[in-house]
Chain A
Amino acid sequence: MVDLKINGLHVSMPEGSTLLEAARFLGFPIPTLCHMDGLEPYGACRLCVVEIGREPKARLVTACTYPVQEGLEVRTASSRVLRARVMILELLLASCPQSRTIQDLASAHNVRQQRFRQEHEDCILCGRCVRMCKEQMMAGAIGFRGRGENRSIGTPFDLRSEQCRLCGGCIYVCPACQLRCTYNEPEKAICGGCANLSPPCIEKEPFDDMMCYMSPCVACEIPKE
């Protein structure tokens, strides 16, 4: 067992657990986005930052990936953490404002506006779908491609992967909803969630009433005609 202090409270956690688990154990809320129980921690979104150590050596680390350490002092809501969190939320809002997950997170932290150039990205590269596909579905059909600006998630060569069983797991875990509905491009289809489960929006008039079980399927790209 490892003893550490979170916001002044002692806690002992089994070796190898993360700060996020420790904080959750004590009931301190830490917002997360790319983290998902059951998936390998990835540390992509940085939303879960916490401050560790003592001034002047205090620093910000991602709680979802940082392992507990003997005698560590962790602050989950210091002003520095809050500032960083707001900034990250603003950046997320700037890139993907249509995501309900991000909107909810932002409003929960009282972020109503962001100061950056507004973009409408489909994907925040959190890698949830990639991990889901690989770790839980044992398929590994989608992955990261390219780097930097050109980084994207998808199948190799943008072709329907033989590994993909159209389980729809990637869509299910997506916080930005970008992978929805590749139904109209079957040759590229990643999940075809709607294709194999035939959600109501296909049978009825498209967008008639948004009764999709994957609600809200605002990014649903089935052409109207």
Chain B
Amino acid sequence: MRTDEVQGFVDRHVGERGGLISILEDMQARYGYLPADVLRAVAERTGQSLTDVYGVATFYKSFSLKPRGKHLCSVCVGTACHVRRAPMVAREVERRLGIRPGDTTADREFTLETVNCLGACALGPIVVVDGHYFSAVTTGKVKDILEQTRAGLDRVDVKTDRRIFPVTVSCSRCNHSLMDAAHPIDGSPSIRVTVSFKRHHGWLRLSSLYGSYTLECEYEIPMDAVVDFFCPHCHADLKSAAGCPECGAPMVAMIVRAGGIVQVCSRRGCKGHMLDLNGSGF
């Protein structure tokens, strides 16, 4: 039940100054918004009045009492962007999505908000979708941006994106290569490991392109499930001591041939990863 979960969040910040904000932040990260029953539960568990909790939740713009869409689209209407016709861009986005700023589309895909300056005025008008910045946006570009978002902004174009490069990795215990040239993913050899979760035990192939999240697996792994990774050769558990910077689940470490280690999150769907080319974090 949600209210039980709330207790955990509350305990984490009990006695902290400004603890209420941290609690609400955690809740917002967990549910995407602050549902009424959660606010009530927070008030009850922290011993503060619902009025105060509600006051804080409505005061800060980063909290939302309404469910948010999958994608958050923020249009900057700050001064610099304003003079470069940001209001027209904002209106175009409104028209295309059929919602007003602060609202969410009926299909829960988009939440639209306007912000006042993102600190990148020289590149204005700025539109930010899910953390991706689009600069010098014109009304004509709005359609593309929204379509791109629908298709998935994280589906990177491996050929043209220079942030992406292949890594060659091996097991951190037996140093056996984990590369599987026979089954390329994204056009380069894949990384093959054994995974197990619940009763299932099978292979998993990851794209070796750093920054690509494409994978194939023998079994359908449910989203958010944390799975165990093993070396297919020595069967060593690849789990490392580190926790995922995004979700806290254990990380899986592999040695990069060129030196250093790469770690990926063991939670399905989590994009947490780190690359440490000096290997000092090992």
Query: At the interface, yes or no: B39 with Cβ under 8 Å from chain A?
Result: yes
CA distance A134 to B50 in the complex (A): 12
A interface with B by C-beta (< 8 Å): 134, 140-147, 155-157, 161, 163
Q: Which of A140, A146, A147 contacts B51 (CB 8 A)?
A: A140
Asked if A146 and B50 make an inter-chain contact with CB atoms under 8 angstroms apart, the answer reads no
Kindly list chain A residues whose C-beta atoms are within 8 Å of the C-beta of B58: 145-147
Asked if A144 and B55 make an inter-chain contact with CB atoms under 8 angstroms apart, the answer reads yes
Kindly list chain A residues whose C-beta atoms are within 8 Å of the C-beta of B50: 156, 161, 163
Give, as a whole number of angstroms, the nearest-CB distance from A142 to chain B: 6
Interface of chain A: mostly helix, strand, loop or mixed: loop
Asked if B51 and A142 make an inter-chain contact with CB atoms under 8 angstroms apart, the answer reads yes
Residue in chain B with minimal CB distance to A150: B58
CA distance A146 to B39 in the complex (A): 15
Asked if A156 and B59 make an inter-chain contact with CB atoms under 8 angstroms apart, the answer reads no
CA distance A54 to B62 in the complex (A): 43
Give, as a whole number of angstroms, the nearest-CB distance from B214 to chain A: 43
Query: At the interface, yes or no: B49 with Cβ under 8 Å from chain A?
Result: yes
Kindly list chain A residues whose C-beta atoms are within 8 Å of the C-beta of B51: 134, 140-143, 155-156, 161, 163
Kindly list chain B residues whose C-beta atoms are within 8 Å of the C-beta of A143: 49, 51-52, 54-55
Report, as a range, how many residues of chain B touch the other chain.
10 to 19
Q: Which of A141, A156, A157 has the most CB of B within 10 A?
A: A156
Residue in chain A with minimal CB distance to B48: A140
New A-B pairs, 9, CB < 8 Å, besides A134-B51, A145-B58: A140-B51, A142-B51, A143-B52, A144-B59, A145-B59, A156-B39, A156-B51, A156-B54, A157-B36
Q: Which of B39, B54, B59 contacts A147 (CB 8 A)?
A: B59
CA distance A143 to B58 in the complex (A): 11
Kindly list chain B residues whose C-beta atoms are within 8 Å of the C-beta of A134: 49, 51
CA distance A144 to B51 in the complex (A): 8
Give, as a whole number of angstroms, the nearest-CB distance from A43 to chain B: 17
**16 residue pairs bridging A and B, Cβ less than 8 Å apart:** A134-B49, A134-B51, A140-B49, A142-B51, A143-B54, A145-B54, A145-B55, A145-B58, A146-B58, A147-B59, A147-B60, A156-B39, A156-B51, A156-B54, A157-B36, A157-B54
Q: Can you list, as one digit per residue, whether each of B204-224 has a CB less than 8 Å from chain A (1) or not (0)?
A: 000000000000000000000
Residue in chain A with minimal CB distance to B65: A157
CA distance A142 to B49 in the complex (A): 10
Kindly list chain B residues whose C-beta atoms are within 8 Å of the C-beta of A144: 55, 59
Kindly list chain A residues whose C-beta atoms are within 8 Å of the C-beta of B39: 156
CA distance A145 to B50 in the complex (A): 11
Residues B40-57 near A (CB distance < 8 A): 49-55
CA distance A134 to B51 in the complex (A): 10
